[in-house]
């Protein structure tokens, strides 16, 4: 979804180019096309380390300025100094021998994040915010509404005020979706999209704890759901493959009986 149309055209050339050059069976085309569709799943686990075998492409999204391509057949990243080995990172926590430019880009992003967190912790940066006895800051809706710009973006979610300024560009759905609810209550929009796909656990996963600034005064809506409430039944979480196999089992049974 994030590809440029020209990039899409090149990416799917593995499916459409061979039929233009040689005679192939339609199943060959479909295999290549669907393989190109699902093959990236293993390297796009989001912000968590790969769930299975180590995947170099995870580092591209987690650290960005590395591993633009794959190691086979020609590892261009090694040529240009942007190759980071997953096994080395998993063992040492370092990205290896990145070029000075790539390492500088990674460090710049880290420093920017730390600077923003330090600003949030400094006294006097929340002068309009009341601090209660248990250190939970209370915002009025007018105060939340004042932070409605790309450079200063708050959103209310389940009565909690979140600073999502640094997350705008990282949002998989793009910044425009978040900016549409900036300075407002985004609970309804959030539940519509993520109610059955991660829920509030996505906030815990993607945002640092310092992004939760406080609560909206007088909030009477729903509280953040617990992890158990949004994960769903255990059988579906741990074994969705069982349900996906049911149509295949039914077809196999029908063929065995009526062949």
pLDDT value of residue 131: 39
Instruction: Average the pLDDT over 243-259 and give the result.
Output: 64
Helices 26-38 & 13-21 angle (0-180, nearest 10): 160
pLDDT value of residue 126: 47
Query: Does residue 204 sit in helix, strand or coil?
Result: helix
Q: What is the pTM of this model?
A: 0.40
Calpha distance 184→141 (Å, rounded): 8
pLDDT digits (tens, 9 = 90+) for 122-133: 555 544 444 343
Residue 118 reports pLDDT greater than 80 = no
Cβ-based burial of 89 (10 A; exposed 0-12, middle 13-18, buried ≥19): buried
Q: Using alpha carbons, list the distances in angstroms from residue 172 to 31, 46, 156, 159, 169.
A: 27, 9, 19, 23, 8
Max CA separation in the chain (angstroms): 78
pLDDT value of residue 129: 41
Residue 87 reports pLDDT greater than 70 = yes
pLDDT digits (tens, 9 = 90+) for 194-230: 766 667 778 877 888 778 888 888 888 888 776 544 4
Q: Which residue has the higher pLDDT, 42 or 157?
A: 157
Q: CA gyration radius for the chain?
A: 24
DSSP 27-58: HHHHHHHHHHHHGGGGG--TTSPPSSS--HHH
Q: Which residue has the higher pLDDT, 95 or 29?
A: 29
DSSP symbol at 213: E
pLDDT value of residue 130: 42
Residue 236 reports pLDDT greater than 50 = no
Q: Which residue has the tokens 């900016």?
A: 179
Q: Which residue has the higher pLDDT, 213 or 172?
A: 213
pLDDT category of residue 164 using cuts at 50, 70 and 90: very high
DSSP 112-160: HHHHHHHHHHSTTTTTT-EE-TTS-EEE-HHHHHT-EETTEEEEEETTE
pLDDT digits (tens, 9 = 90+) for 29-75: 888 888 888 877 765 655 455 555 556 777 777 777 788 887 778 88
């Amino acid at each position: 979804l994030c590809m440029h149309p020209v990039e899409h055209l090149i990416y799917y050339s593995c499916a459409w180019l061979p039929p233009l050059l040689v005679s192939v069976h339609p199943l060959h085309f479909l295999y290549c096309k669907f393989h190109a569709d699902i093959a990236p799943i293993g390297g796009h686990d989001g912000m968590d380390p790969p769930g299975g075998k180590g995947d170099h492409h995870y580092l591209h999204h987690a650290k960005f300025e590395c591993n633009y391509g794959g190691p086979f057949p020609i590892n261009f990243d090694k040529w240009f100094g942007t190759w980071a080995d997953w096994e080395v990172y998993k063992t040492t926590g370092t990205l290896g021998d990145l070029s000075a430019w790539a390492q500088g880009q990674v460090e710049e992003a880290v420093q920017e994040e730390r600077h923003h967190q330090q600003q949030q912790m400094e006294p006097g940066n929340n002068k309009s915010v009341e601090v209660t006895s248990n250190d939970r800051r209370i915002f009025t809706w007018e105060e939340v509404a004042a932070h409605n710009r790309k450079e200063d973006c708050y959103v209310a979610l389940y009565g909690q005020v979140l600073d999502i300024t640094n997350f705008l560009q990282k949002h998989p759905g793009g910044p425009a979706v978040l900016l549409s609810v900036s300075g407002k209550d985004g609970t309804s929009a959030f539940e519509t999209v993520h109610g059955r796909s991660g829920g509030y656990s996505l906030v815990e996963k993607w945002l640092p704890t310092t992004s939760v600034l406080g609560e909206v005064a007088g909030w009477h809506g729903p509280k953040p759901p617990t992890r158990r409430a949004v994960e769903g039944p255990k059988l579906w979480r741990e074994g969705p493959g069982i349900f996906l196999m049911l149509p295949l089992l039914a077809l196999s049974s029908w063929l065995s009986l009526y062949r």
